[in-house]
Structure 1
């Protein structure tokens, strides 16, 4: 398995991770299938799993994905000591909606809840502030994360849905190792707003969320001719081409594609074998330009 260093830490993780969200939303697969999916990822060498306290049906189901992943790790027959869990806090799920909550008191409770959902025995590897809340300063919202590091509940901190200026402010509060923003063929904002370049310059890991466009758009990949043609020429799926394209954009990019069945994560990892030339990357760039 190809590996990458996580930010400026000494932690080494697989070059593609597993996104856990699809295992816990309202259309979640049966638990046995979800656990089998996590186990397949581990069997194939994945050592990074991305989750969040809000990956659930609604507020009554909070922390479902974290508990599921912890259970899957407990049931796994192999060595899980090198597996890194990256979770997030700061989004609420009232009636299944997504809302931001950067209240420091809420985030203190969220971190504690995630710590307990993930076993409560060792620090969370990476906790990420899920999205900035305009009702609270970044400094106030990240203070609980700094406190949690001192208390032994967190090892490292990341941010999600942040601009370059917001990342800089976050780094004045606590060391930041990762940034997770949306990045896919339909949303190339990280290339334009300086976030991707900043992460590369500063040695931060960039996790592109929704790398394949999410459930609303993943089927539309078959409508992008350049991607379809490259997939046919290289004998892989269109999903592999997109993941390979994202990886080619910067050495700091570490895709975390979601999966709800074992064969899906297996296909995603085939992207590690795909090498795109500069000309092929340019073809995809041109086909996805807005």
Structure 2
């Protein structure tokens, strides 16, 4: 981000001592080093897509505390909203002008009406308009990372990824990513422009051979793999294997799920989301949780 934040919370001189630093860094796009423990803003406007509404003061407090803990990678989208509450607006209110090292990723493709109905996938012109909407809402001149989120297994044809590549050439986007993508969609996008990150569903309880192979492919190619629903979605912390490993470490099941994701590959970046300060602290602490071979075997079998 090209701004200096004169109101940012005081941070320790040793950045490596920050809790989010425990899992190390990844060079996003080759030139944006980010800590592998980040934050997802989806839950800030509302607990679910249909509410209830989030607490604006709590949202601002969570975002500021995340930065204090060393988080330098925040994932958002303009369609993360509930009524008049918006994740992008919370981020701007809490953190603008942004710290120089803060990376904000957003995504385009889906959209929602003011009544919260999901709309058809955006075409090239709408995608460009949505990028400009993110720029305005976040108050920046360039977006660090923009994902094209696919709503089907169709490739990035019809000029959709090309539209984002044009904005990248114009300097409005630094890096491009794909979300909810297959290996074939990733390859097709790469024929159009470099891809810095893939954001797909992935967790100890929502994985398969195809997903594992895509994680490995990303690591080989220097592409970040960013799981959404890194805790598996609703009910995941109650999975028996997660509880068993958590008991061994005196940790929570959610922490074990995050630690598992980070253990899979150095290319994996975690972006757990929450609107609770307590859960934020718990999630970020998972960066320091190391799972052994027995733990990993239990999670793989469970």
The answer to whether TM tops 0.5 is yes
SS in 1 for 2:96: helix
Q: What residue is the counterpart of 1:70 in the other structure?
A: 92
Aligned residues: 276
Q: What residue is the counterpart of 1:188 in the other structure?
A: 207
* Partner Cα distance (1:53, 1:131) in 2: 16
Residue 277 in structure 1 maps to residue 297 in structure 2: no
Q: What TM-score comes out, normalization by structure 1 length?
A: 0.88
SS in 1 for 2:128: helix
What whole-Å deviation, never above 9, does each CA across 1:119-163 have from its counterpart, x for those lacking one?
A: 03x311001112255788436101221111122211111110000
Residue 14 in structure 1 maps to residue 31 in structure 2: no
Residue 102 in structure 1 maps to residue 122 in structure 2: yes
- Say which of 90, 107, 112 aligns to 2:109: 90
CA shift, 1:22, in A, is: 0.1
Indicate how the Cα distance of structure 1 residues 117 and 190 shifts in structure 2: closer, same or farther if over 3 A, else same.
Answer: farther
Indicate how the Cα distance of structure 1 residues 6 and 91 shifts in structure 2: closer, same or farther if over 3 A, else same.
Answer: farther
- Say which of 120, 126, 130 aligns to 2:149: 130
Runs of 4+ in 1 over 6 A off after TM superposition: none
CA shift, 1:6, in A, is: 3.4
Contact 1:182 1:208 (8 Å CA) reproduced: yes
Q: What residue is the counterpart of 2:58 in the other structure?
A: 33
Q: What TM-score comes out, normalization by structure 2 length?
A: 0.85
What whole-Å deviation, never above 9, does each CA across 1:205-262 have from its counterpart, x for those lacking one?
A: 0110011123x324xx22x222212212211111111111111111111110001021
* Partner Cα distance (2:266, 2:228) in 1: 16
Q: What residue is the counterpart of 2:131 in the other structure?
A: 111
CA shift, 1:29, in A, is: 2.0
CA-atom RMSD in angstroms: 2.1
* Partner Cα distance (1:167, 1:277) in 2: 32
CA shift, 1:269, in A, is: 1.2
* Partner Cα distance (1:277, 1:255) in 2: 19
CA shift, 1:166, in A, is: 0.4
* Partner Cα distance (1:54, 1:190) in 2: 31
Indicate how the Cα distance of structure 1 residues 54 and 213 shifts in structure 2: closer, same or farther if over 3 A, else same.
Answer: same
For structure 2, which runs of at least 5 residues remain unmatched after alignment? 1-20
Out of 255-264 and 127-136, give the one that drifted further. Answer: 127-136
For structure 1, which runs of at least 5 residues remain unmatched after alignment? none
Q: What residue is the counterpart of 1:233 in the other structure?
A: 248
